[in-house]
Amino acid sequence: MWKYKHYKNDETVEIENIRIKEFIKRVMAKMSNNEPLTEAEQLIFKNSVNVRLAVANQSLYLYELSEDWSSVVRMAVARNINTPVDLLYKLANDEDPMVRACVASNRNTPVDLLLKLANDKSWVVRMYVAENDNTPIDVVEKLTEDKEWAVSHSAKLFLSTRTSGKNKKP
């Protein structure tokens, strides 16, 4: 069931996705009812990044998963629009720049945190700050002068769409 197959067809992938969803529902129901997990369930839940990633995307156990060993899981928590603000502050200090970049891309990241991330040592983080709708215009304008081309280009492009009204969300 959890074995990785190199050459998967669409049917195999769909069956595996259904099995993962069923497993997550079963484990979440047990955890919600404070029922003990079997050893196999514990092992799969603790060792499967895909399971923990799916849980993070469903906004469950965000605090626990924010400390996950896998940066991919922490990235999912940072991207999640339901992640509490205090957790975004914590994840903004993560050692992995991609986790910080996901915080910078989250539409619920507070302005003061975006200001901090605008000075991040990683150009990827600064680029996502420039593309966040909540970043103040003066900060985006400053990022147009960033020494990294990707940051300055993203900031200029975002400014042009923001000021022309093309970047409005429905």
Taking every pair of Cα atoms in the chain, the longest distance, rounded to a whole number of angstroms, is: 57
Model confidence pLDDT, tens digit, residues 47-87:
677 777 777 777 768 888 898 888 998 999 999 999 999 99
Is residue 23 within 8 A of residue 44, CB to CB? The reply is yes
The third-level CATH classification (topology) of the domain covering 48-163 is Leucine-rich Repeat Variant (1.25.10)
Write down the domain spans for the chain: 48-163
Model confidence pLDDT, tens digit, residues 111-145:
999 999 999 999 999 999 999 999 999 999 999 99
